[in-house]
Homo-oligomer: A and B are copies of this chain.
Amino acid sequence: MHVTSEQAQKALEGALKKAAETRTRMCIAVVDSGGTLKAFHRMDDAWVGSIDIAIKKARTAVYFGMPSGEIGELSQPGKPLYGIEHSNDGLITFPGGVPIVDDDGIMSGAIGVSGSTVDNDDKVARAGAETIGVCDLPEHPWRT
């Protein structure tokens, strides 16, 4: 199941609202459960370099069914997934990408945000995801 056009729009709006509240300038990407782009918005004066990062954070979250930052903990030097960023045409493994999961525990996509501190990015991404459902996935294997 994939995030719908309407849900993606709602997620973008939820994220944009939180970005306004936190006075940040964000790039916001929504991808479906296959990791392909569904919707995207770059706020005025957002970093140009954040376009690709927002999309890659969303992909990272949906590719492995967890917030991008959790992958990042496992990809530090000496950790089990060290270097995973080299796969899939580049992953971004710091916070700001979260799965979009509905109340039945189905992951329909992910949202990725870039443009401020990783804490703000993560907060804005979660605000977007929560317009659709919960952020946390049940234990793997989850359904998509």
List residues of A whose CB falls within 8 A of some B CB: 4-5, 8-9, 25, 32-45, 47-53, 56, 59-60, 62-65, 72, 75-78, 80-94, 117-118, 140-144
Contacts and interface: CB of A to CB of B under 8 A. Distances in A.
Contact of A37 (B51, B56, B80): B51
Nearest to A1: B1
A62 B85 CA distance: 21
Contact of A83 (B64, B78, B85): B85
Rank and list the top 4 A-B pairs by shortest CB-CB distance, nearest first: A49-B63, A34-B34, A45-B141, A40-B40
B49 A38 contact: no
Given A50-B64, A86-B86, 7 more contacts: A45-B142, A49-B63, A72-B82, A75-B82, A75-B83, A76-B82, A84-B92
Contacts of A33: 34
Given A82-B93, A93-B82, A48 B36 contact: yes
A88 to B, nearest CB: 5
A80 B95 CA distance: 8
Contact of A4 (B4, B44, B77, B144): B44
A48 B72 contact: no
B94 A53 contact: no
Contacts of A47: 63-65
